Amino acid sequence: MATFARDNGKAAPMEQVGRDLFIKTFTKGSAITQAELETLVQAIQQTATITAIGAFTAGTSTAVNMILEGADISNAANTPVTGITTSDLSF
């Protein structure tokens, strides 16, 4: 939860109206093609909103980062594109 400070009060937890954000990394053992990225994006958009897609070069990148809103994509082996694994981005 986010906190905020008041000039004449104390800092306390605060509920925000909004959607849950998830920062995910999608990786593959070899280069991800443009077609695979498009398939991944289309599959994710069925349950979540993609807010941002990180740097990606088709045929060269082996991973791509995305910020998702709404439903989380599981880190299990059920990633919508065969051969691509999902994990939470750690920074």
Listed by start position, the domains of the chain span 18-72+84-91
In degrees to the nearest 10, what's the CA dihedral of 28, 31, 34, 40?
A: 0
Strand partners for 85 = 27
Tens-place pLDDT, residues 56-78: 999 999 999 999 998 888 765 45
Task: Between 12 and 45, name the one with better pLDDT.
Answer: 45
d(CA 20, CA 69): 6
Tens-place pLDDT, residues 9-43: 555 565 566 678 899 999 998 999 999 999 999 98
Contact 53, 68 (CB under 8 A): no
